[in-house]
Structure 1
Amino acid sequence: MAGTRPIDARGWTFEVEDATAQTPKWIPIAGLTQWSHSPGENEETAETTAFDSAGYYEQDVMQRGASLELEGQYRIDKTTKAQDPGQLYIDTVWAYRFGYDSRGRVRWRHDTQSKWAIWEATCTPGEQSGGNNDKTSWSVSFVRCGPATVSAVTP
Protein backbone atom coordinates (compact mmCIF):
# COMPACT_ATOMS: atom_id res chain seq x y z
CA MET A 1 0.00 0.00 0.00
CA ALA A 2 1.44 3.36 -1.00
CA GLY A 3 2.60 5.59 1.82
CA THR A 4 2.87 2.88 4.48
CA ARG A 5 6.20 1.96 6.03
CA PRO A 6 7.33 -0.73 8.45
CA ILE A 7 8.15 0.39 12.00
CA ASP A 8 11.49 -0.08 13.72
CA ALA A 9 11.67 -2.81 16.36
CA ARG A 10 13.83 -0.54 18.50
CA GLY A 11 10.95 1.94 18.85
CA TRP A 12 9.17 -0.24 21.44
CA THR A 13 9.17 0.64 25.15
CA PHE A 14 8.45 -1.93 27.87
CA GLU A 15 7.69 -1.10 31.51
CA VAL A 16 6.69 -2.94 34.69
CA GLU A 17 4.53 -1.53 37.46
CA ASP A 18 6.16 -1.29 40.89
CA ALA A 19 3.62 -3.02 43.14
CA THR A 20 5.56 -1.87 46.22
CA ALA A 21 5.10 1.85 45.47
CA GLN A 22 2.49 3.89 47.37
CA THR A 23 1.22 5.42 44.11
CA PRO A 24 1.27 3.81 40.66
CA LYS A 25 4.81 3.85 39.32
CA TRP A 26 5.95 2.38 36.01
CA ILE A 27 9.60 1.38 35.62
CA PRO A 28 11.17 1.19 32.11
CA ILE A 29 13.22 -1.92 31.30
CA ALA A 30 16.56 -0.96 29.73
CA GLY A 31 19.10 -2.90 27.67
CA LEU A 32 16.62 -4.74 25.46
CA THR A 33 17.82 -6.07 22.12
CA GLN A 34 14.95 -8.36 21.13
CA TRP A 35 11.31 -9.00 21.98
CA SER A 36 8.64 -11.44 20.92
CA HIS A 37 4.85 -11.24 21.39
CA SER A 38 2.92 -14.48 20.92
CA PRO A 39 -0.82 -13.66 20.85
CA GLY A 40 -1.85 -17.32 20.45
CA GLU A 41 0.07 -18.70 23.44
CA ASN A 42 -2.05 -20.91 25.75
CA GLU A 43 -5.02 -20.94 23.37
CA GLU A 44 -7.36 -23.89 23.89
CA THR A 45 -10.03 -25.10 21.49
CA ALA A 46 -12.87 -27.59 21.55
CA GLU A 47 -13.58 -29.63 18.45
CA THR A 48 -17.18 -29.22 17.26
CA THR A 49 -17.03 -31.40 14.15
CA ALA A 50 -20.18 -33.48 13.73
CA PHE A 51 -21.76 -35.66 11.05
CA ASP A 52 -23.47 -32.59 9.59
CA SER A 53 -20.10 -30.81 9.19
CA ALA A 54 -19.98 -32.57 5.80
CA GLY A 55 -16.40 -33.74 6.31
CA TYR A 56 -15.05 -30.31 7.30
CA TYR A 57 -13.27 -29.72 10.59
CA GLU A 58 -14.93 -27.31 13.04
CA GLN A 59 -13.84 -25.88 16.39
CA ASP A 60 -14.62 -23.20 18.96
CA VAL A 61 -11.99 -21.24 20.85
CA MET A 62 -12.50 -21.89 24.55
CA GLN A 63 -9.51 -19.99 25.97
CA ARG A 64 -7.28 -17.19 24.71
CA GLY A 65 -3.82 -16.49 26.00
CA ALA A 66 -0.68 -14.58 25.11
CA SER A 67 2.96 -14.27 26.08
CA LEU A 68 5.69 -11.67 25.79
CA GLU A 69 9.42 -12.40 25.87
CA LEU A 70 12.09 -9.75 26.32
CA GLU A 71 15.80 -10.32 25.80
CA GLY A 72 18.77 -8.04 26.11
CA GLN A 73 21.87 -7.20 28.07
CA TYR A 74 22.25 -7.09 31.84
CA ARG A 75 22.62 -3.37 32.52
CA ILE A 76 24.24 -1.45 35.40
CA ASP A 77 24.75 2.24 36.18
CA LYS A 78 28.40 3.13 35.45
CA THR A 79 28.72 5.21 38.60
CA THR A 80 26.72 3.34 41.24
CA LYS A 81 27.06 -0.17 39.73
CA ALA A 82 23.34 -0.65 40.49
CA GLN A 83 21.39 -2.88 38.10
CA ASP A 84 18.88 -1.21 35.76
CA PRO A 85 15.76 -0.51 37.88
CA GLY A 86 13.37 -2.40 35.55
CA GLN A 87 15.58 -5.48 35.41
CA LEU A 88 16.24 -5.25 39.15
CA TYR A 89 12.52 -5.11 39.99
CA ILE A 90 11.84 -8.23 37.90
CA ASP A 91 14.86 -10.15 39.24
CA THR A 92 14.53 -9.30 42.94
CA VAL A 93 10.88 -8.39 43.61
CA TRP A 94 8.47 -9.84 41.05
CA ALA A 95 10.36 -13.13 40.66
CA TYR A 96 9.92 -13.89 44.37
CA ARG A 97 6.17 -13.36 44.61
CA PHE A 98 3.88 -16.41 44.81
CA GLY A 99 0.20 -17.26 44.51
CA TYR A 100 -2.10 -14.27 44.09
CA ASP A 101 0.89 -11.94 44.57
CA SER A 102 2.72 -13.51 41.62
CA ARG A 103 0.71 -11.35 39.25
CA GLY A 104 1.84 -7.89 38.29
CA ARG A 105 1.38 -5.51 35.40
CA VAL A 106 3.51 -4.95 32.33
CA ARG A 107 2.87 -2.42 29.58
CA TRP A 108 4.37 -1.62 26.21
CA ARG A 109 3.92 0.55 23.15
CA HIS A 110 5.71 1.71 20.05
CA ASP A 111 6.79 5.35 19.94
CA THR A 112 4.30 5.89 17.08
CA GLN A 113 1.36 4.76 19.25
CA SER A 114 -0.80 6.88 21.54
CA LYS A 115 -1.90 4.01 23.81
CA TRP A 116 -0.16 1.52 26.06
CA ALA A 117 -1.06 -2.18 25.89
CA ILE A 118 -1.35 -3.33 29.51
CA TRP A 119 -1.40 -6.88 30.85
CA GLU A 120 -1.89 -8.39 34.23
CA ALA A 121 0.69 -11.17 34.00
CA THR A 122 3.06 -13.54 35.70
CA CYS A 123 6.75 -13.37 34.93
CA THR A 124 9.56 -15.86 34.69
CA PRO A 125 13.11 -14.49 34.71
CA GLY A 126 15.30 -16.01 32.02
CA GLU A 127 18.86 -17.27 32.03
CA GLN A 128 21.80 -14.94 32.25
CA SER A 129 24.81 -16.00 30.28
CA GLY A 130 27.85 -14.87 28.33
CA GLY A 131 31.02 -16.04 26.71
CA ASN A 132 34.59 -14.81 26.49
CA ASN A 133 33.83 -11.83 24.22
CA ASP A 134 30.13 -11.35 25.09
CA LYS A 135 28.14 -9.00 27.23
CA THR A 136 26.05 -10.67 29.95
CA SER A 137 22.57 -11.52 28.72
CA TRP A 138 19.28 -10.86 30.50
CA SER A 139 15.73 -12.00 29.71
CA VAL A 140 12.21 -12.38 31.06
CA SER A 141 8.96 -14.03 29.92
CA PHE A 142 5.48 -12.71 30.74
CA VAL A 143 2.25 -14.73 30.47
CA ARG A 144 -0.96 -12.72 30.26
CA CYS A 145 -3.65 -13.41 32.88
CA GLY A 146 -7.08 -12.24 31.75
CA PRO A 147 -7.84 -9.74 28.99
CA ALA A 148 -5.46 -6.99 27.88
CA THR A 149 -6.37 -3.39 28.54
CA VAL A 150 -5.17 -0.09 27.08
CA SER A 151 -4.33 3.30 28.53
CA ALA A 152 -3.61 6.63 26.85
CA VAL A 153 -0.02 7.81 26.80
CA THR A 154 0.33 10.83 29.05
CA PRO A 155 3.35 13.10 29.36
Structure 2
Amino acid sequence: MGRPIDARGWEFQVEGATPNTFIRLANLLSWSENPGENEETVDTTDFDSDGYYEQDVMQRGSTIEVSGQYAATSGTRDPGQDYIDKTWAYKFGEESRGRMRYRHLSQNEWTVWECTVTPGERGGETNAKTSWSATFTRCGAPTTTAVAP
Protein backbone atom coordinates (compact mmCIF):
# COMPACT_ATOMS: atom_id res chain seq x y z
CA MET A 1 0.00 0.00 0.00
CA GLY A 2 1.41 3.37 -0.99
CA ARG A 3 1.80 6.38 1.25
CA PRO A 4 0.11 9.73 0.49
CA ILE A 5 2.44 12.35 -0.95
CA ASP A 6 2.70 15.94 0.26
CA ALA A 7 1.05 18.63 -1.88
CA ARG A 8 4.02 20.91 -1.16
CA GLY A 9 6.31 18.43 -2.94
CA TRP A 10 5.02 19.45 -6.39
CA GLU A 11 7.13 21.73 -8.56
CA PHE A 12 5.84 23.79 -11.49
CA GLN A 13 8.01 25.43 -14.14
CA VAL A 14 7.34 27.50 -17.27
CA GLU A 15 9.52 27.66 -20.36
CA GLY A 16 10.96 31.16 -20.68
CA ALA A 17 11.98 33.09 -23.78
CA THR A 18 14.96 30.76 -24.33
CA PRO A 19 13.80 27.37 -25.69
CA ASN A 20 14.24 24.45 -23.27
CA THR A 21 15.02 26.82 -20.39
CA PHE A 22 12.46 26.39 -17.64
CA ILE A 23 11.80 28.82 -14.80
CA ARG A 24 10.45 27.65 -11.45
CA LEU A 25 7.24 29.21 -10.13
CA ALA A 26 7.96 30.26 -6.55
CA ASN A 27 5.84 31.17 -3.54
CA LEU A 28 2.99 28.80 -4.42
CA LEU A 29 0.46 27.98 -1.72
CA SER A 30 -1.90 25.69 -3.62
CA TRP A 31 -2.55 24.01 -6.93
CA SER A 32 -5.32 21.98 -8.51
CA GLU A 33 -5.63 19.98 -11.69
CA ASN A 34 -8.95 19.47 -13.43
CA PRO A 35 -8.45 16.56 -15.87
CA GLY A 36 -12.05 16.82 -17.07
CA GLU A 37 -11.89 20.48 -18.10
CA ASN A 38 -12.85 21.06 -21.75
CA GLU A 39 -14.02 17.48 -22.18
CA GLU A 40 -16.61 17.08 -24.93
CA THR A 41 -18.92 14.10 -25.29
CA VAL A 42 -21.54 12.99 -27.79
CA ASP A 43 -24.76 11.26 -26.82
CA THR A 44 -24.89 7.81 -28.45
CA THR A 45 -28.12 6.66 -26.78
CA ASP A 46 -30.49 4.98 -29.23
CA PHE A 47 -33.40 2.52 -29.22
CA ASP A 48 -30.99 -0.36 -28.59
CA SER A 49 -29.75 1.25 -25.35
CA ASP A 50 -32.79 -0.18 -23.52
CA GLY A 51 -33.40 3.10 -21.72
CA TYR A 52 -29.82 3.51 -20.48
CA TYR A 53 -27.73 6.55 -21.32
CA GLU A 54 -24.66 6.05 -23.53
CA GLN A 55 -21.94 8.45 -24.70
CA ASP A 56 -18.54 8.62 -26.37
CA VAL A 57 -15.80 11.05 -25.36
CA MET A 58 -14.84 13.16 -28.37
CA GLN A 59 -12.32 15.51 -26.74
CA ARG A 60 -10.18 15.45 -23.60
CA GLY A 61 -8.80 18.49 -21.86
CA SER A 62 -7.15 19.52 -18.64
CA THR A 63 -6.25 22.62 -16.65
CA ILE A 64 -3.92 23.32 -13.76
CA GLU A 65 -4.41 26.33 -11.54
CA VAL A 66 -1.58 27.49 -9.30
CA SER A 67 -1.96 30.17 -6.68
CA GLY A 68 0.30 31.73 -4.14
CA GLN A 69 1.85 34.99 -3.13
CA TYR A 70 2.94 37.77 -5.46
CA ALA A 71 6.69 37.46 -5.01
CA ALA A 72 9.44 40.06 -5.17
CA THR A 73 12.83 40.40 -3.50
CA SER A 74 14.27 43.90 -3.18
CA GLY A 75 11.93 45.09 -5.93
CA THR A 76 12.83 42.26 -8.33
CA ARG A 77 9.87 40.06 -9.27
CA ASP A 78 9.98 36.29 -9.10
CA PRO A 79 11.21 35.30 -12.59
CA GLY A 80 8.48 32.72 -13.25
CA GLN A 81 5.62 34.96 -12.16
CA ASP A 82 7.16 37.90 -13.99
CA TYR A 83 7.46 35.93 -17.25
CA ILE A 84 3.78 34.94 -17.08
CA ASP A 85 2.56 38.42 -16.12
CA LYS A 86 4.68 40.51 -18.49
CA THR A 87 5.41 38.26 -21.47
CA TRP A 88 3.32 35.11 -21.90
CA ALA A 89 0.02 36.76 -20.94
CA TYR A 90 0.39 39.24 -23.82
CA LYS A 91 0.84 36.74 -26.65
CA PHE A 92 -1.92 35.94 -29.13
CA GLY A 93 -2.70 33.30 -31.75
CA GLU A 94 -0.03 30.64 -32.24
CA GLU A 95 2.34 32.59 -30.02
CA SER A 96 -0.05 32.30 -27.06
CA ARG A 97 1.04 28.70 -26.64
CA GLY A 98 3.97 27.92 -24.45
CA ARG A 99 5.18 25.03 -22.34
CA MET A 100 4.99 24.25 -18.67
CA ARG A 101 6.07 21.19 -16.79
CA TYR A 102 5.39 19.74 -13.39
CA ARG A 103 6.30 16.81 -11.18
CA HIS A 104 6.34 15.66 -7.59
CA LEU A 105 9.84 15.65 -6.11
CA SER A 106 9.55 11.87 -5.70
CA GLN A 107 9.12 11.40 -9.47
CA ASN A 108 11.93 11.03 -11.99
CA GLU A 109 9.92 12.41 -14.94
CA TRP A 110 8.37 15.77 -15.73
CA THR A 111 4.91 15.92 -17.25
CA VAL A 112 5.14 18.52 -20.02
CA TRP A 113 2.22 20.47 -21.46
CA GLU A 114 1.97 22.68 -24.48
CA CYS A 115 -0.60 25.12 -23.16
CA THR A 116 -1.96 28.61 -22.88
CA VAL A 117 -1.92 30.60 -19.65
CA THR A 118 -4.55 32.85 -18.12
CA PRO A 119 -3.31 35.16 -15.38
CA GLY A 120 -5.48 35.19 -12.27
CA GLU A 121 -6.65 37.91 -9.99
CA ARG A 122 -4.29 39.66 -7.60
CA GLY A 123 -5.28 41.28 -4.38
CA GLY A 124 -5.12 41.36 -0.63
CA GLU A 125 -6.37 42.99 2.52
CA THR A 126 -4.78 45.21 5.13
CA ASN A 127 -2.80 42.53 6.98
CA ALA A 128 -2.36 40.05 4.14
CA LYS A 129 0.22 39.33 1.48
CA THR A 130 -0.71 40.04 -2.14
CA SER A 131 -2.12 36.99 -3.92
CA TRP A 132 -1.05 35.72 -7.36
CA SER A 133 -2.42 32.95 -9.58
CA ALA A 134 -2.42 31.53 -13.09
CA THR A 135 -4.36 28.84 -14.95
CA PHE A 136 -2.72 26.63 -17.59
CA THR A 137 -4.97 25.05 -20.24
CA ARG A 138 -3.42 22.06 -21.97
CA CYS A 139 -3.34 21.99 -25.80
CA GLY A 140 -2.95 18.47 -27.14
CA ALA A 141 -1.66 15.41 -25.34
CA PRO A 142 0.85 15.68 -22.49
CA THR A 143 4.36 14.34 -22.89
CA THR A 144 7.04 13.36 -20.40
CA THR A 145 10.75 13.99 -20.09
CA ALA A 146 13.33 12.68 -17.66
CA VAL A 147 14.53 14.84 -14.80
CA ALA A 148 18.11 15.93 -15.59
CA PRO A 149 20.64 14.85 -12.96
Q: TM-score range by the shorter chain?
A: over 0.9
Over the aligned positions, Cα root-mean-square deviation in angstroms equals 0.8
Residue from 51, 54, 57 that aligns with 1:58? 54
TM-score (norm 2): 0.98
Count of aligned pairs between the two proteins: 149
Query: Within 5 Å, which residues of 2 pair with 1:1-155?
Result: 1=1, 4-18=2-16, 20-21=17-18, 23-78=19-74, 81-155=75-149
* Bigger strand share: 2
TM-score (norm 1): 0.94
Q: What amino acid sits opposite 1:7 in the alignment?
A: I
Identity %: 58
* Displacement of 1:54: 1.0
**Structure 2 segments unaligned to the other structure (5+ residues):** none
* Displacement of 1:5: 1.1
**Structure 1 segments unaligned to the other structure (5+ residues):** none
SS in 1 for 2:82: helix
Distance in 2, Cα, partners of 1:77 & 1:84: 8
Distance in 1, Cα, partners of 2:144 & 2:100: 11
Runs of 4+ in 1 over 4 A off after TM superposition: none
Q: What amino acid sits opposite 2:40 in the alignment?
A: E
